[in-house]
Amino acid sequence: MGFFLNPGNENFKSILNGIYVDKTGIIEAINNTINTSDKLTCISRPRRFGKSYTAKMLCAYYGKTCDSSGLFDGKDISKSPTYKVHLNKYHMVYLDITGFISSSKNIDNIVKEIRASIIDEICAANSGVTGNSLGELLVNMVEASKDKFFFVIDEWDALFREYKEKTELQEEYIDFLREIFKNGNVTDRAIAGAFMTGILPIKKYGHQSAISDFREYTMIQPSIFAEYVGFTKKDIDYLSSNYTVNKSKLKKWYNGYSFAKVGDVYNPNSVCQAVRTGVYDSYWSKTETYEALLEYINLDKYGLQADIIQMIGGNEMPVDTATFQNDMTSAQNRDDVLSLLIHLGYLAYDAKTGKARIPNEEIRREFISTVRTGNHEATTKIIRNSDQLIADTIDGNEEAVAKAVEEVHTAGTFGISPLFYNDEQALRSVVKFAYISCANNYIKVEELPAGRGYADVVYIPNPGELLPVLLIELKMAGSVDGAINQIHERSYPKVFENIKGEVILCGINYDAKTKKHECKIEKMIFPLNE
Say how many C-beta atoms besides its own lie within 10 A of residue 469's C-beta: 20
Q: Is the pLDDT of residue 421 over 80?
A: no
Residue 339's nearest CA partner among 374, 307, 365, 363 is 307
Q: Is the pLDDT of residue 415 over 80?
A: no
For 180-232, the DSSP string reads HHS-HHHHHHHEEEEEEEESSPPPSSSSGGGGTTSEEE-SS--GGGGGGSSEE
Question: What is the Cα Rg of the chain in Å?
Answer: 28
Specify whether the backbone of 363 is left (phi greater than 0), alpha (psi in -120 to 50) or beta: alpha
Min mean pLDDT across 254-268, 430-444, 474-488 is at 430-444
- The percentage of residues in the chain with a pLDDT greater than 90, rounded to a whole number, is 55
> Distance between CA atoms of 103 and 125, rounded to whole angstroms?
23
pLDDT band at 108 (very low <50, low <70, confident <90, very high): very high
Contact 217, 54 (CB under 8 A): no
pLDDT at site 205: 45
> Which DSSP category does 496 fall into?
G
Q: Is the pLDDT of residue 413 over 60?
A: no
pLDDT at site 104: 87
pLDDT at site 132: 85
pLDDT band at 203 (very low <50, low <70, confident <90, very high): confident
CA angle 344, 346, 348 (to 5 degrees): 100
Q: Which fold has domain 286-377?
A: Arc Repressor Mutant, subunit A (1.10.10)
> Distance between CA atoms of 205 and 209, rounded to whole angstroms?
8
Min mean pLDDT across 1-5, 44-48, 155-159, 478-482 is at 1-5
pLDDT at site 470: 95
pLDDT at site 101: 93
- 359-368 per-position pLDDT tens digit: 998 998 888 7
For 112-155, the DSSP string reads HHHHHHHHHHHHHH-TT---SSHHHHHHHHHHHHS--EEEEEET
Q: Is the pLDDT of residue 333 over 70?
A: yes
Contact 165, 117 (CB under 8 A): no
Q: Which of 149-153, 184-188, 310-314 is modeled with the greatest confidence? A: 149-153
Please, what's the b/e burial string for 254-291 (b: 16 or more CB within 10 A of its CB; e: otherwise)?
bbbbbbeebebbbbbbbbbbbbeeeebebbbeebbeee
Domain with CATH 1.10.10 in the chain: 286-377
- 434-471 per-position pLDDT tens digit: 888 887 788 888 888 877 888 889 999 987 888 999 99
Q: Is the pLDDT of residue 181 over 80?
A: yes
Average pLDDT of the segment spanning 68-87: 97
Min mean pLDDT across 21-35, 88-102, 298-312, 513-527 is at 298-312
pLDDT at site 423: 67
> Distance between CA atoms of 45 and 495, rounded to whole angstroms?
42
Domain with CATH 3.40.50 in the chain: 10-217
Residue 201's nearest CA partner among 262, 160, 259, 162 is 160
pLDDT at site 452: 80
Average pLDDT of the segment spanning 382-392: 89
Residue 173's nearest CA partner among 115, 228, 119 is 115
Asked, as a colleague might, if the bond just before 527 is cis with ω within 30 of 0, I would say yes
The DSSP bridge pattern shows strands 263-266 and 348-350 to be unpaired
Q: Which fold has domain 378-526?
A: Trna Endonuclease; Chain: A, domain 1 (3.40.1350)
- The percentage of residues in the chain with a pLDDT greater than 70, rounded to a whole number, is 90
- CATH class of the region 10-217: alpha beta
> Which DSSP category does 32 fall into?
T
> Distance between CA atoms of 179 and 456, rounded to whole angstroms?
63
Average pLDDT, the chain: 87
pLDDT band at 98 (very low <50, low <70, confident <90, very high): very high
